Structure 1
Amino acid sequence: MSNFRKWVMVVVISSASLCATCASSIASFTEAGEVDAFRVSKEVTILGISMYMVGLGTGPLLVGPLSEVYGRNIVYRLSYIFFFAFTFPVAFAPNIATFLVFRVLTGFASSAFLSVAGGSVSDMFSNYNVANPMAFYTMSPFIGPVVGPMYSGLINQHLDWRWTYRIQIIWIFIELVMLFVFVRETYVPVLLKGKAARMRKETGDGRFYAPLDRRDGSLVGAIFVSCYKPFELMIYERMALLLNIWTALLLGILYLTLQAFPFIFEKNHGFNMQSTGLSFAGIGLGMILAFLAQLVYNKVSAPKTAAKYGGNPPPEVRLIIGMAGAVLCPISLFWLAFTTYRSVHWIVPIIASILLGTGSLFVFTSVFTYLVTAYRPLAASALASNSALRSAFAAAFPLFAGAMYNKLGTVGATALLAGLTTIMAPLPFVFFRIGTRLRQNSRFAAS
């Protein structure tokens, strides 16, 4: 494929990932409508976010092994077909039970784009050229929770809450069409399997086969391994566990802001629903700036790093950009905490949130790249373990956000989060120094 064709596929896959994670956070501004429609408490409606994240976190344990047997493309297409179909009961749910059940199912169906999509990017680009497309893809699912409240707030300010999901259906359909038109199979074992089948048919010689034709074990066995291997990795690998907790904490904080920003901007500054949704633009802008900074960093540092280590840099060099993120995140949260007073202009906390977006994406990118390179034989399991823990935190944090901000106030609650990120901040600095030694004693790390 030409580079242009590869990048078209990267953009389509990334936009599908954006749509999938955006669907999680759009529920934040539909809660008031759900309270009136379903006659339930606000605490119950918050489960709309949490249930989606449960599906999003458990789905990769199934779709990961499926993609390694049947290929990336069929998983993408079936995933989005089910995502499209299951969103209709969400948009037209007659009761809260139906709404929550199908929120889980939509999260599960869309989860392929948090696990399989990264594999497609790595399929198309060499190790030397993969940094920029991987940075672009990594940004997409994490900017989704920021984009969701922005357009959800606009819709719910002027229309019935159900239109949030009806418009989401239209977006999913457009993504589904683009997946069929522009995205082709990239997984080499599946391509070889198709080639072997064509050669057997054309030549009549049954001796042509691909490695996947003689795959050992069953699909059920592969799914079983994919379910326990990520947790085994976290149990025995302190590096993986601590880095996973770090990214899970940051994603939990991002999802907690879905409940925290209304406290800060609606109660303190009198924002309406639409304006509160737009207040998330600061985090989104920070992520875009982080992506642009990574393009520059990769262009400048990659040749020097490759030359320094003889073309084979250790995984720990991937943590360097995470060091910047480790410093920016607590600074941003402390700044945000002590500028939430009504007397402080609303633009000041939004500027603080820009640093949160930048620091978070630096951390996510560095940890993902580190896990893939450090645990290359088990890269899929390493990412699945990270995804499962991140989704668990993202599902849980919004549930106690209201109680925490009511009890501690905007200053105390946000400062508590800043303190947690401060405790985790030394991780990239420590692992950069001792990571090589720890990997030498690891049962899972690549040599």
Structure 2
Amino acid sequence: MGPKNPISRIGHAFNSTSRVEKEPGELDPAFLVKWDREDPSNPQNWPVRYKCWVTFQLGMLALAGSLGSSIMTPADHIIAEYVGVSQEVAVLDVTLYLVGFIFGPIIWAPMSEIWGRRVSILPAVFCQALFAIGTSRSTTATSVFVTRFFTGFFGSAPISNVIAALGDMWTRETRGIAVSLYAVAVNGGPSLGPVIGAALVSNSNLNWRWPGYILAIWVFVTFAMAAFFLPEVYPMVLLKQKAQRLREETGDMRYYHPHEHLKLDVHSIVTKQLSRPMVMLFTEPIVTCIATYASFVYGVMYLTLEVFPIVFQEIRGWHPVVATLPFLALLLGVISSVGLNIWNQYRYNEIAQKANGKAVPEARLPPMAFGAVFFVIGSFMFAWTATPPHHWILPCLAALFIGVGFNCIFQQCLNFLVDMYGIYAASSTAAVTFLRSIMAAGLPMAARPMIRALDVGPAVSIIGAVAVVLLPIPFLFMKYGPRLRRLSKLTPEDPN
């Protein structure tokens, strides 16, 4: 099952004359290289088992990036004492990692659309491991925070590009299932990291440096696996290679693909490829709306990294390791939502079939609406049951609701963008990553001052109130989505 209309996809890229060096008259359309009907080199025609294996590798790469964001947080108070800063300043450990997530995708996503997914992910992941070691070897606050920024900068490559790579392999009839499993990896990392980090820091035979070492080992193992077994999946690069192969095999130099003629001078790269995520964020109404909502819920996910230790360790007096276990409730919520998202994939297929096989992005949104309701319930429930005398099971149940809501919202946001933008999926998701990382970087720093000034209930209720204000968004998208999509200037004729 190849792309529904590969010619329109290639034609879309070819017709962008600013991206092609040769004049169209110099290239014979009869020798335009495209996918054959059952072309085995087309990633969407690969055997399902092989695509599952590739999806697993991509998921592990994304998990390595997300895990790094939170694995050091249980050591924050130790690092603060070691380098001589306050606990409020020590939160920069998380914040600067996420600041790396702000700037990284602006580089990695356009790079993936020029040179492919492997080149844009694997070298960056290797550097992530090196800087994780650098954090563990640091002796000053400056070196800790600088290395954490670069760990996040390089670790953002798979976070930004994996979702687009899944869109390269899986048709829209099956992509929702693949994205569900990917979402568990990328959203489960922030929940799993504190548990691992606390277990390491609490071990009397280890110290605060070991979370960084374990992260580096994890990343190196994942990198080694992907370096040997992860294939290139980006269609533009694969078609370019096919054109080169046909010229070599036939001796006919007329075979070509437009991706071979990209202008890669500095001016073109800066003004077109690197600027595309920002252009999409500020000029594409769909991307702007999706990014705003996804950024809020993503920021709340990272806010829990600071709120949970305050509630369960400082207020309830739990042991540091036990105090991280509520993060597993958050993770359980993320996992629990997978069934709903997979069910919606089958529902989506029926709707697309009735639409003559065309993409219907709005059909992705019912789980997002369901998740929005759960997110509101979880936020207010946590706000008013977090502290004694309320039983500990209540805030843990609220964390589960937040996890369900977060994953439903986050995943369908990504599915919607991939449905809509096709070959520009990496840039659209990079735009979302940019904005959501700004929110995720800022909110953890506000947690302790907010709770100190307002107490837990009122402080977290502010988050719930914002969630209520944003609650109509998925419902409005379902109603007015087609109208907003018509305003897009970058949607390919056939995104799939």
The amino acid across from 1:268 in the alignment is I
Listed as ranges, the matches of 1:297-376 within 5 Å are 297-299=344-346, 301-376=347-422
Aligned residues with identical type, % of pairs: 28
Are 2:475 and 1:433 aligned? no
Give the secondary-structure state (helix, strand or coil) at the position aligned to 2:391. Answer: coil
Q: Distance between the aligned counterparts of 1:66 and 1:429, measured in 2?
A: 35
Separation in structure 1 between the aligned mates of residue 60 and residue 368 of structure 2, nearest angstrom: 24
Alpha-carbon distance change, 262 to 93 in structure 1, aligned in 2, over 3 angstroms = same
Report the equivalent of 1:77.
Answer: 122
Distance in 1 separating the partners of 2:251 and 2:276: 41
In structure 2, distance between residues paired with 1:378 and 1:185? 17
Task: Return the offset for 1:340.
Answer: 1.4
Q: Which runs of 4+ in 1 moved over 6 A?
A: none
Is residue 248–residue 386 contact of structure 1 (8 Å, CA) maintained in 2?
Answer: yes
Gaps of 5+ in 2: 1-45
Separation (CA, whole Å) in 1 of partners of 2:242 and 2:280: 35
**One-letter amino acid matched to 1:279:** P
Contact persistence 2:309–2:323 (CA under 8 A) = yes
Aligned length: 446
Tell me which of 206, 223, 229 is aligned to 1:182: 229
Q: 1:223 to 1:110 in 2, by over 3 A?
A: farther
Distance apart, 1:383 and its partner CA: 1.4
Q: Is the 8 A contact 1:8 1:182 kept in 2?
A: no
Q: Which amino acid aligns with 1:385?
A: A
Q: Which residue does the alignment assign to 1:9? A: 54
Any gaps of 5 or more consecutive residues in structure 1?
A: none
Structure-2 change in CA distance of 1:182 and 1:275 (3 Å): same
Relative to 1, partners in 2 of residues 1:71 and 1:238: Cα closer, same or farther, differing over 3 Å?
A: closer
Q: How many Å apart are 1:293 and its aligned residue?
A: 2.3
Q: CA deviation at 1:18?
A: 0.8
In 2 relative to 1, CA 378–8 (structure 1 residues): closer, same or farther, beyond 3 Å? closer
Superposition deviation, residue 387 in structure 1: 0.7
1:400-419 equivalence runs, <5 A: 400-419=446-465
Aligned positions of 1:252-291 closer than 5 A: 252-291=299-338
Superposed CA offset, 1:195-235 (max 9, x none): 33344445555444433222245365234324433333333
Aligned match of 2:275: 228
User: Does the residue aligned with 2:439 lie in a helix, a strand or coil?
Assistant: helix
CA–CA distance in structure 1, aligned partners of residues 139 and 241 of structure 2: 45
Tell me which residue corresponds to 1:294: 341
In terms of fraction of residues, the more helix-rich structure is: 1
Q: CA RMSD in A?
A: 2.0
State the TM-score, normalizing by the size of structure 2: 0.85
Q: Give the residue type in structure 2 aligned to 1:292.
A: G
Q: Normalising to structure 1: TM-score of the pair?
A: 0.94
The CA distance in 1 between the partners of 2:303 and 2:348, in whole Å, is 35
The whole-number CA distance in structure 2 between the counterparts of 1:37 and 1:267 is 20
Structure 1 residue 179: deviation in Å?
A: 0.5
Judged with a 3 Å threshold, the aligned counterparts in structure 2 of structure 1 residues 446 and 198 are, in CA distance, closer, same or farther, namely closer
* Alpha-carbon offset, residue 376 of structure 1: 4.4
1:97 is the counterpart of 2:142: yes
Question: Which residue number in structure 1 is paired with residue 181 of structure 2?
Answer: 136
Range 379-388 or range 154-163, more displaced: 379-388
CA contact (8 A) 1:65 1:219 kept: no
Q: Deviations over 1:387-444 (max 9, x none)?
A: 1000000111111111001111111111111111111000111121122223334445
| Change over 3 Å in CA distance of 1:64–1:240 after alignment to 2 | closer
Counterpart of 2:51, as a letter, is: K
